[in-house]
Amino acid sequence: MRKTVIFSFVFCLCLLLTSAAAFAGGFLVKEGMRGDSVRAVQKLLIAHGYLADGEADGVCGRKTTAAITKFQQENGLEADGVCGRLTYKALSGGEEPPAAEPTPNRGGGRSLLVSATAYSRFDPGLSNHTASGTLVRRGVIAVDPSVIPMGTRVFIPGYGEAIAEDVGSAIRGNTIDIAFDTAEEAIQFGRKTVEIFIMD
């Protein structure tokens, strides 16, 4: 029993040190992140043939994460799907990564546990537009306004930033519906319990 406890402690410590080392490198791209750093990594992945042309959208989704993992596997790197300094240098032929972007504001630690489903504008019977009049697209969530006011920006781990622009008859209480650009992505997401962070 004691050996198990010691092993667990050492394992957790190793994970923390690995994460700390990645952040200490000043550059990190992982699933759910968006921005210029992601786009820079995607362009390098495209150049090496791991992503198709046109996929440098600045959003680190499943395809980008899988491409990073495959590159790492084929180049003797730790295949964790996270592009830190070492992976970036391998991708870029030895160049240092660009300056790190600011960490997304997660509302000073204010979080909310919600039941999340997914939808797209291609789902049968749904409108192309949100209750706010904007296009249903990635980066939008449907909410119960009594819990999350319309216009609220949130951060969803594994998805990224989103804004509350929609409502739905089945969205009540701590429930959200996350918009995707395709029906396939929405189906793949399914239903899950997630912790979201209120940004404002």
Higher model confidence: residue 4 or residue 120?
120
Residue 141 has pLDDT above 50, yes or no: yes
Query: Which tens digits make up the pLDDT trace of 146-190?
Result: 999 999 999 888 888 999 999 998 899 999 999 999 999 999 999
Query: Which tens digits make up the pLDDT trace of 97-115?
Result: 876 554 455 555 478 889 9
Residue 7 has pLDDT above 50, yes or no: no
Residue 38 has pLDDT above 90, yes or no: no
Mean pLDDT of 43-70: 89
pLDDT at 112: 86
pLDDT at 11: 40
Indicate the pLDDT class of residue 199, thresholds 50, 70 and 90: confident
pLDDT at 17: 40
pTM of the model: 0.49
Q: CB–CB of 187/199 below 8 Å?
A: no
Mean pLDDT of 73-80: 92
pLDDT at 39: 87
Q: What is the dihedral of CA 131, 135, 139, 143, to 10 degrees?
A: 10
Round to whole Å and give the CA distance between 145 and 172. Answer: 9
pLDDT at 134: 94
pLDDT at 52: 85
Average pLDDT over the chain reads 82
Q: Which domains does the chain have, with CATH numbers?
A: 27-103 (1.10.101.10), 107-198 (2.40.40.10)
The candidate with the shortest Cα–Cα distance to 142, out of 125, 111, 158, 121, is 121
pLDDT at 200: 67
Query: Which tens digits make up the pLDDT trace of 118-138?
Result: 999 998 888 899 999 999 999
14-23, 42-51, 76-85, 157-166: which has the minimum mean pLDDT? Answer: 14-23
